[in-house]
Amino acid sequence: MDELTRLVHKRLVLLHVQASSCLEEIRASGLSAHLMSVDGNPFPGADGWTRAPYPMPVIDVKGKGSIGFDPAGAFFVFAVPTTEAQPASIDALSDCFENTALLGAVSLRDYQLGRNRAVQSVAAAARDGEPALLVIVRFGLETEGLLRLFEQAALIMAGQLPTLLSPPELKRLDTSTT
């Protein structure tokens, strides 16, 4: 096995180990969740977002959102119908987590270009006919405490302010690599 193949294999093993560990932690916390293998998840590239043509482990946390794992790291996804999007919640999430994206679910167009506030971004997505928005928060694959971070992000997306961690504390835990 050449060095590049060994490194790719090592990274794939790590992301599956992280997904399994996170699923165990979620279930131990009492939340309902299941592990899926999903093709076509948004993946950040040099020229914007694309759909990954290979399966990635994604944990669906019932009623809250998803936690996924890909070679670039771990990520949270909250799919929100454009007509129901709460700009204040999206802005609060972006303020708390440095590596947040707002994408059109169909086009993968990045609606946070120029870091528009969410009210402008949601309006632009509605004008473009996007049925839903994907709010994505990315982390390094080795980030500790993903479940706690996910719970905070889910609270924010539900319109509740973080109660366990303040925005500066969340920023310190946000060890994004992209």
| CATH code of 60's domain | 3.30.930.10
> Is residue 119 scored above 80 in pLDDT?
yes
Residue 36 forms part of a structural domain: yes
Structure tokens at 38: 């999903």
Give strand pairing partners of 79: 134
pLDDT band at 98 (very low <50, low <70, confident <90, very high): confident
Provide the residue range defining the domain that includes 52. Answer: 3-173
pLDDT band at 1 (very low <50, low <70, confident <90, very high): confident
SS3 16: helix
Q: What angle do CA 150, 156, 160 make, to 5 degrees?
A: 130
Structure pTM?
0.85
Residue 85 forms part of a structural domain: yes
Structure tokens at 161: 């302010």
Report the domain count for the chain: 1
The HSE-up count of residue 61 (CA atoms within 13 Å, CB side) is 27
Residue 178 forms part of a structural domain: no
